[in-house]
Structure formats: C-alpha cells, structure tokens
Amino acid sequence: MKQSFLLNASASYSGSGSLTTHSRTRIKKKSAHADDSQPYALALIKVIIGLGNPGRKYSGTRHNIGFRVVDELSDRYAGTWREQGEMMLSQISVPSQDSLLSLLLIKPLTFMNNVGRVIPVLSKKGIKPEQIVVVHDELEKKFGALSMRLGGSARGHNGLRSLISVMGKDFWRLRFGIGRPEEKDMVGDYVLAPFLEQERQEIPLLIGQAIDLLLR
C-alpha cells in the first residue's frame, strides 16, 4: 500500500562565496556519482526538496537548478504542483525494487535564506533528516558535475545553512555543479544570472542524469 505524504531572491551564498545580494570554458566530461562515505538507498527517501527562488525572474538562473530538477521529476511521474503554506508540493510514485515508492517533492516559496521554514511541517509528519534529499547548485563543482552525499557543511550556501539550522547536517544533498566565477565579488551576480548558451544546451541532459542519481 502506498503511503501519502501530502501535507494539511535573495542571494544565498556567503562566507567564502560572499553572496549577499541578489564566461567559462566548456567542461568536456561531466561526472555523476554518489560519495562513498555512506550508500544511498532510494527506498529510505520520503522527500526531495529542490532549492531555488520563487518568481519568473529567477526561473532560468543557476541558483534555481534545484527547482528545475524537481519540476522535471514531477513531470515525468505525472505529479501536480499545488501551493500549501510556504511551499509548492507534488506527490509522485516511482518504481523501487518490486513496488511503487511514494515521494513528496517540495519547492520552498520562502527565498533561499529561509528555506529551513519548511522543515518543521515535515518533522510533524515524522520525516527524519536522513529521509530527505536536497537538490542545490554547487559553486565548488565544475559545471555539470553531479554528486550525492550525506551530511557536510553549508559551504557558504545560505539555503543549506538555513536547513542545517533547523534539522542539523544529516540529510542527503544532490550537488549540481555550476562552477565558480573568476572573481569572488562576482558570485552574487553569477548565481542569479542565466546559464550560458552552451550550458543551456546541456542542461536537459544533466537534469536527466541528476534524476538518475536520485532514483538509482
């Protein structure tokens, strides 16, 4: 029996990333892998949160790649987005071993710096940090590099920092590499800017690879 979990722009890098307000050489080979520190098991996951800023003006920016991944995941599995409180929700069912697994997809509507506000609602439903995957942009990885890991620091990402402040570090992250600008003081404009034309051509394939990592 499937279990249902439907619930009754700011810039967001800081520290070394120095993002406090609202090109590059093409990478020939992309990488997608799960870190070896602890095995990832889809069967244990209940929620996937894509990070981004709400509003049309942010929809194609590097910072909103998390939204785009969960949007594609919802489309593939016939999910329907609905607004509830400070988040958009979509319930989907995906194949997992010999059965269907129910997953709740979330897009916070709080802007990055306050995405942690969605967590208490999940906690009240008994959902634990290790049952959550957060999909986010990653400055410290080259464009197109993908990895899955459990735990770790915020790495200057205020969206992650907000989540960690509420539920601790022990949640899964799918890190979607966007690369880093040459100058530190360019980070704010960089993450809130659209991908380059060549990158935009590669994004659909990379989103597909990200989904493969999530559902493997």
The residues annotated as belonging to the active site are 63
What is 91-144 written as a DSSP string?
EEEEEETTEEEEEEEEEESS-GGGGGGGHHHHHHTT--GGGEEEEEEETTS-TT
Rounded to whole angstroms, how far apart are CA atoms 83 and 89? Answer: 6
DSSP-assigned letter for residue 31: -
- HSE of 80, CA atoms in CB hemisphere, 13 A: 1
Rounded to whole angstroms, how far apart are CA atoms 141 and 160? Answer: 16
DSSP-assigned letter for residue 2: P
